[in-house]
């Protein structure tokens, strides 16, 4: 995406800052842990979550059975220049198949990670101002066993249901023509 690693990181973090501001505007009840989750996903991707395509499909099918389709929802939301959230309610309303989503998720997990670490996520988040408790939320990232989750407030207000996919799938056959 960018040539030298320093330029890549600088441009990437500027873009994540812009995306984070967009999310804060769209989701005003976001808390520090929600912002950390977005940055974590944007910098580190999803490779840490996916054991197999079959497991991804089973979990996805279970979750999608509990969802109501929403044709008015936002289908795709960037979390960084490399990653985006595919929101499941609009995907369901548009008829996107569970198998296609699981395949894209599994293939996204196999993408070569960017040159970011948990330490980079921590540094980026710790420097952010405006969200109370940001540094404390960011410190949790340094624990290698910790995975981010949305705050209870965010879950109740927005009922997030999505999968994080690599940008290569924005133009895939599965998503082409589905974007409103």
pTM of the model: 0.88
Question: Is 136 contained in some domain?
Answer: yes
Question: Is 35 contained in some domain?
Answer: yes
Digit-coded pLDDT (tens) for 66-83: 999 999 999 999 999 999
**Per-residue confidence band for 111, with pLDDT thresholds at 50, 70 and 90:** confident
Residue 147 structure tokens:
């995975």
Residue 176 has pLDDT above 70, yes or no: no
Question: Is 109 contained in some domain?
Answer: yes
Q: How far apart are CA 149 and CA 62, in angstroms?
A: 19
CB within 8 Å of 101: residues ≥ 6 apart: 60, 86, 88, 91, 163, 174
Question: Is 30 contained in some domain?
Answer: yes
Q: Which residues of 77-110 are buried (b: 16+ CB within 10 A; e: fewer)?
A: bbbbbbbbbbbbbbbbbbebebeebbbbbbbbbe
Question: Is 177 contained in some domain?
Answer: no
**Per-residue confidence band for 180, with pLDDT thresholds at 50, 70 and 90:** very low
Count up the domains in the chain and report the number: 1
How high is the pLDDT of residue 3?
A: 62
How high is the pLDDT of residue 174?
A: 65
Domain range for 101 is 5-171
Q: How many CA atoms lie within 13 A of 121 on its CB side?
A: 29
Digit-coded pLDDT (tens) for 25-57: 999 999 999 999 999 999 998 865 677 778 888
Q: Is 58 left (phi over 0), alpha (psi -120 to 50) or beta?
A: alpha
Question: Is 179 contained in some domain?
Answer: no
**What single string gives the DSSP state of each residue in 65-116?**
HTPPP-TTS-SEEESSSSEEEEEHHHHHHTT--HHHHHHHHHHHHTSPPPS-
Question: Is 54 contained in some domain?
Answer: yes
How high is the pLDDT of residue 141?
A: 93
């Amino acid at each position: 995406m960018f040539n030298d690693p320093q330029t890549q990181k600088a441009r990437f973090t500027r873009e994540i800052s812009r995306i984070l501001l967009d999310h804060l505007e769209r989701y005003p009840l976001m808390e520090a842990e929600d912002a950390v989750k977005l940055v974590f996903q944007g910098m580190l991707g999803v490779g840490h979550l996916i054991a197999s395509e079959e497991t991804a499909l089973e979990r996805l099918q279970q979750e999608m059975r509990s969802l109501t389709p929403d044709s008015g929802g936002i289908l795709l939301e960037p979390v960084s220049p490399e990653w985006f959230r595919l929101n499941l309610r609009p995907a369901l309303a548009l008829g996107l198949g569970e198998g296609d989503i699981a395949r894209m998720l599994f293939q996204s997990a196999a993408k070569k990670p960017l040159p970011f670490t948990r330490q980079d996520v921590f540094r980026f988040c710790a420097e952010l101002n405006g969200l109370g408790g940001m540094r404390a939320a960011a410190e949790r990232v340094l624990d290698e066993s910790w995975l981010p989750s949305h705050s209870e407030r965010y879950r109740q207000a927005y009922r997030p249901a999505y999968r994080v996919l690599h940008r290569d799938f924005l133009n895939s056959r599965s998503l082409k023509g589905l974007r409103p």
